[in-house]
Structure 1
Amino acid sequence: MSGPISGWAGRAAAAELENAAVALRAVRESDRAAVRAVAMDPDIWRYFVSRVDTEEDFERFFSTMLTDLAAGRRVPYVVLDRSRGRIAGSMSFGNLAQADGRLEIGWSWLGRDFRGRGINRPAKHLLLGFAFETLGAERVEFKTDVLNEPARAGLRGIGAVEEGVLRSFNPMPDGRRRDAVFYSVLRAEWPAVDRRLSRVAVAP
């Protein structure tokens, strides 16, 4: 049996983050049914490196989240829409390179009823704030499919800087080789990004 998660992964796993719009906490077994209720939507997985089309797919997907969390490989959070009191989706910290001061925010998705409702930016704001202000990260990175224009627009919208495309980065379930586009926010840029996201949070 593995011991307690240490370092950045342990601190992130123990965190409970919230603002006026959303609350985030590490996924747990008791979330399985609520996550399934929003995850069984093929539109979510169009640009993911895995698919959740069947009950078996979902069970594998959810169990992987728990396994990754227990091993400290990734810290998957459930995103709760505070206005509805429901799980809206999930986002994760991953690729936690503590010695290099670098981590990734990704594995992000929201259910159909929660997209376009002011969930993504407040959730990303919490994760970025925790990464820079609590963990002390120097660089937070994001990546997505070069074809995923909504995700790319969302990353630009939170103030992340587009860095470039890594061609033929990984295989996709349909056999296509994905070109991955990378974005980042650096510690020196965080105050401006924080102000930008804070203005969004209070806008009517």
Structure 2
Amino acid sequence: MSWNLTAAATLENEHVLLRPIAPEDREGVRAVAMDPEIWRYFVSLVETDADFETFFDATLADHAAGRRVVRVIVDKSTGRIAGSMSYGNMAEADARLEIGWSWLGRDFQGRGVNRWAKYLLLEHAFERMGAERVEFKTDELNTQARRGLRNIGAVEEGTFRSYNYMPGGRRRDAVFYSILRADWPRVKQQLATRPKVTDTVAGAVG
């Protein structure tokens, strides 16, 4: 089945629900997004209500245009939106996609939300969409995100120097990671059995 039909499926387990973002999520996302620390290594900066409106509108536009499959993450223990993750750079002919644009509100960091969200997205990519390769990238300076990706078994592949501009004008060096289909059984076991291993990632993967 085409990725256009399968990529945006709603995903859930007993811990989290991941569903495609919708306009009515604006206030739920705002409630957890107004924390500048989340955006330290992000390509967007959200400090004011105007920043948030620009960010949220751009996210909706990307999702509607098919540039990304954006999901909000709902923490089932509270029923609240905890953050967001996306599929992007999908190349179905090459069975390759990226998981990124990832962030969590401060209240949901270190609680297993990130781990289970990544588990569901990887499981869907490898076991239902038929992906052969899932990519991640993050700022070279983001030691938390880099440690978290290594801890789940993602392989560091190299650094793209001067990859893009960041807020304030800094040029980011982007470090790329991947998980291949052959890696997935091992990574799946790690995610399922080591609850704290990926929750060092506060945001800004992608």
Q: Per the shorter chain, which TM-score range?
A: over 0.9
The answer to whether 1:43 aligns with 2:41 is: no
Matching residue's letter, 2:26: R
Separation in 2, partners of 1:125, 1:95:
19
Q: Is the 8 A contact 1:9 1:73 kept in 2?
A: no
Indicate how the Cα distance of structure 1 residues 190 and 42 shifts in structure 2: closer, same or farther if over 3 A, else same: same
Separation in 2, partners of 1:67, 1:174:
24
- Structure with more of its chain in helix, by fraction: 1
The answer to whether 1:105 aligns with 2:99 is: yes
Q: How does 1:115-154 map to 2 (within 5 A)?
A: 115-154=109-148
Separation in 2, partners of 1:197, 1:26:
23
User: What per-residue deviation string (whole Å, max 9, x for no partner) do you get for residues 39-77 of structure 1?
Assistant: 011001100111111111111111111111111110110
**Which residue number in structure 2 is paired with residue 92 of structure 1?**
86
The answer to whether 1:12 aligns with 2:14 is: no
The answer to whether 1:24 aligns with 2:47 is: no
User: What per-residue deviation string (whole Å, max 9, x for no partner) do you get for residues 133-187 of structure 1?
Assistant: 1110110000000000111111112211111111111111111110000000001
Instruction: Give the CA deviation at 1:201.
Output: 4.9
User: What per-residue deviation string (whole Å, max 9, x for no partner) do you get for residues 98-133 of structure 1?
Assistant: 111110000000001111111111110000000011
Q: Is the 8 A contact 2:110 2:196 kept in 1?
A: no
Q: Is the 8 A contact 1:9 1:75 kept in 2?
A: no
Separation in 2, partners of 1:131, 1:7:
12
Kindly report structure 1 stretches of 4+ aligned residues shifted beyond 3 Å: none
**Which residue number in structure 1 is paired with residue 66 of structure 2?**
72
Q: Is the 8 A contact 1:78 1:88 kept in 2?
A: yes
Gaps of 5+ in 1: 1-5
How many residue pairs align between the two structures? 197
Separation in 2, partners of 1:88, 1:34:
9
Instruction: Give the CA deviation at 1:34.
Output: 0.3
Matching residue's letter, 2:184: W
Q: TM-score of the superposition, structure 2-length normalised? A: 0.92
**Which residue number in structure 2 is paired with residue 3 of structure 1?**
none
Q: Is the 8 A contact 2:115 2:196 kept in 1?
A: no
Matching residue's letter, 2:63: L
Q: Is the 8 A contact 1:162 1:184 kept in 2?
A: yes
Indicate how the Cα distance of structure 1 residues 64 and 9 shifts in structure 2: closer, same or farther if over 3 A, else same: farther
Instruction: Give the CA deviation at 1:9.
Output: 3.8
Separation in 2, partners of 1:20, 1:201:
14
The answer to whether 1:62 aligns with 2:53 is: no
User: Percent same amino acid at aligned positions?
Assistant: 66
Instruction: Give the CA deviation at 1:24.
Output: 0.3
